[in-house]
Amino acid sequence: MEFTTQELAPIAEELATLFEQKIKGKEGRHIGSLEHEVRKGMNELAVMVLSKTLALAEKEREQTIDCECGGKLHYQRRREAKFESTFGWVSYKRDYYAGCKCKKGISPLDDEFGIIPGEITPELARLLAITGAELPYGESRKLVKEFLLLELSPNSVREETQRFGQYQQEREKQLMVQTQNENYLQKRTQIEKAMKHAKRLYGSLDGAHVRINDPAEDEDWREVKVGCWYEVEAVPSSQKNAHQHKMEAIGKQALRAKGQQYYCDIQKADDFAPLFWATGCQAKVDLAEEVVFLGDGAKWIWKLVTYFYPKAVQIVDWFHAEERLETVAKDAFPKSSERKEWLENIRYDLWEGSIESVIRACELLALHSKEATEARTCFYNNKKRMQYDRFREEGYMIGSGTIESACKQIVSHRLRCSGAQWKVEGARLTAKARAAWLSKNNDWEIIASMRAKLPLAI
């Protein structure tokens, strides 16, 4: 629904005259104060417009209408109700029907417009959920007051944010049921077979901890497992920063993620597995020509990847591998000069994919360095995942910055803000809402349509 300039011009003329009369003769007139007064006035006007529009939109009254139970509802009276919109509370009157054996009463106008008397509108709910996904609930409330001129409690923001997280969780559960069904998967493959799919898709997994203050839990901290599916593209020369130019000079191509689809949960690895597989099907990872996984050395990650995507290229993040060598050097060499020389040589071997040389170097230090002993095991277990020379030649991204950024954005920036303590379910739903909001697919639009009960949710 859009309005033309010709339709709005007469109304604007009348309002401008009204506002000019209000400020006429006042001292200290300024565009800032005028703008603020116009905002307040327009909010009041919008409330009146919504109320009167609903009154005009009501259909011709009937004495009896059909009830969902199969019985009949009879007209009772004009009944007053109200709801909270992005402009404030809207009061209105509409026809009300009752008298059926099921003892149910309804208003056809409410059903038609999706109004739930006494509650907030889907549009206001969407805006509250966005602010709650971005900021602590107390700060979100202040932001809403500044932007929408509405006085709401932090609980209102929390309820809507977690409701959106609940909708996302419901979608995920439905998806997990579908992707465990062999008939569904076969039919899906047949439908998708003729379609064009990505040549190379990436996946990453990691975890970050959130503080829990929940009487039902024994642990003070729980790990939020975070996953991301994405594609990769080269950074255009005009958009490269100084660091990327420097990396390119030593043979590392400047790459970046695009089309990120995030998902998360607070679960053990085995319980997280169905979500990992389901979201992969949603992203059509199993239909891609090539799948690449990037992650650190955590065993649970590679266990899931190997089970669900045995043909995928597996890469241990270069920076994690390099960081482990730095830890060994600090532990094994008290003198900085010796440490620096060892690191330069061993880092070169790692960069060139000479993992056997890296393992031997760690073995030589293992007798007097615990860190070297652990590193030797790590490099031995991940030899195939550290062929960095080959990975670079193939044009693969070798850094897991995408998933580290996801953990920071979803967990650190939102769930671990100053003073935050969560119950497990609250943390889970808030994280899911934020993951949907940050994703580059249409997850957020779908769950917003579920809140509004619109057809997009189907």
Q: Are 39 and 72 in contact (CB under 8 A)?
A: no
Q: What is the mean pLDDT of residues 99-118?
A: 94
How far apart are alpha carbons 275 and 284 in whole angstroms?
A: 14
Residue 96: CB atoms within 10 Å? 19
Identify the CA nearest to 86 among candidates 121, 40, 129, 134.
121
268 domain residue, yes or no: yes
Identify the CA nearest to 127 among candidates 147, 153, 155.
147
Q: What is the mean pLDDT of residues 218-231?
A: 93
Q: Is residue 339 domain-shared with residue 313, that is, in the same domain?
A: no
Q: Is residue 415 domain-shared with residue 338, that is, in the same domain?
A: no
Q: Is residue 378 domain-shared with residue 330, that is, in the same domain?
A: yes
92 domain residue, yes or no: no
The per-residue pLDDT for 154 is 92
The per-residue pLDDT for 455 is 53
**Which string of b and e fits 120-147 if b means at least 16 CB within 10 Å?**
bbbebbbbbbbbbbbbbbeebbebbeee
Q: Is the pLDDT of residue 245 over 80?
A: no
Structure tokens at 122: 């889907």
Instruction: Assign 252 a pLDDT band (cuts: 50, 70, 90).
Output: low
pLDDT 10s digits, 123-178: 999 999 999 999 999 999 999 999 999 999 999 999 999 999 999 999 999 999 99
The per-residue pLDDT for 456 is 43
Q: How many structural domains are present in the chain? A: 2
pLDDT 10s digits, 267-295: 999 999 999 999 999 999 989 999 999 99
The per-residue pLDDT for 249 is 66
Q: Is residue 288 domain-shared with residue 270, that is, in the same domain?
A: yes
Q: Note down the domain range covering 188.
A: 175-317+399-452
22 domain residue, yes or no: no
- Whole-prediction pTM value? 0.90
161 or 28: whose pLDDT is higher?
A: 161
Instruction: Assign 425 a pLDDT band (cuts: 50, 70, 90).
Output: very high
pLDDT 10s digits, 360-392: 999 999 988 999 999 999 999 999 999 999 999
The per-residue pLDDT for 149 is 94
Share of the chain above pLDDT 90, in %: 79
